[in-house]
Structure 1
Amino acid sequence: MKDMRQALLDAGLHLINEHGFAGVGLMKIINEAEGTKGSFYHYFKSKEHFGAILLHDYFETHLERLERFLSDESKAPSERVQAYFDDWCVVKLTDDFRIQCLVVKLAGEVSGHDTEMQSEMAAGTKKMIEKMTTFFERSNQEGTLCLSVPEQTAKTLFSLWLGYTLLAAMQKDRAILDDAMQTTVKLLNE
Structure 2
Amino acid sequence: MASVSGNIDTRQGILDTAHRIVGAKGFSGVGLNEILAAAGVPKGSFYHYFGSKEAFGEALLADYFEAYLADIDVTLAETGLNHAERLMNYWGKWQATQGSIDYQRKCLAVKLAAEVSDLSEPMRLALKAGTAGIIDRVTGAIEAGIAEGSLRIDGEPRATAETLYHLWLGASLMAKIERTDVPFHAAMKTTRRILNRQQA
Q: Residue type of the partner of 1:77?
A: H
1:22-68 Cα distance to aligned partner (Å, 9 max, x none)? 00011111111111123211110111111111101111111111111
Q: CA deviation at 1:142?
A: 2.9
Tell me if structure 1 keeps the 8 A contact 2:109–2:127: yes
Tell me if structure 2 keeps the 8 A contact 1:97–1:169: no
Tell me if structure 1 keeps the 8 A contact 2:142–2:157: yes
- The answer to whether the aligner puts 1:30 opposite 2:13 as a matched pair is no
- The answer to whether the aligner puts 1:186 opposite 2:190 as a matched pair is no
Tell me if structure 1 keeps the 8 A contact 2:145–2:151: yes
Find the counterpart in structure 2 of residue 163 from structure 1: 170
Give the TM-score normalised by structure 1: 0.91
Q: CA deviation at 1:135?
A: 2.0
Find the counterpart in structure 2 of residue 175 from structure 1: 182
1:87-115 Cα distance to aligned partner (Å, 9 max, x none)? 11121132479992111100111224452
Q: Residue type of the partner of 1:149?
A: E
SS of corresponding position for 1:21:
coil
Find the counterpart in structure 2 of residue 15 from structure 1: 21
Alignment CA distance shift 1:96-1:39 (3 Å): closer
From 48, 61, 66, give the equivalent of 2:67.
61
- The answer to whether the aligner puts 1:126 opposite 2:132 as a matched pair is yes
Alignment CA distance shift 1:90-1:178 (3 Å): same
Counterpart Cα distance in 2 of 1:114 and 1:25: 17
Q: Residue type of the partner of 1:56?
A: A
SS of corresponding position for 2:28:
coil
Counterpart Cα distance in 2 of 1:125 and 1:6: 22
- The answer to whether the aligner puts 1:150 opposite 2:148 as a matched pair is no
The CA RMSD measured in Å over matched residues stands at 2.1
Q: Residue type of the partner of 2:95?
A: C
Alignment CA distance shift 1:173-1:97 (3 Å): farther
Tell me if structure 1 keeps the 8 A contact 2:23–2:105: yes
Counterpart Cα distance in 1 of 2:47 and 2:179: 39
Q: List alignment gaps of at least 5 residues for structure 1.
A: none
Tell me if structure 2 keeps the 8 A contact 1:104–1:162: yes
Alignment CA distance shift 1:98-1:72 (3 Å): closer
Q: List alignment gaps of at least 5 residues for structure 2.
A: 1-5
Identical-pair percentage: 39
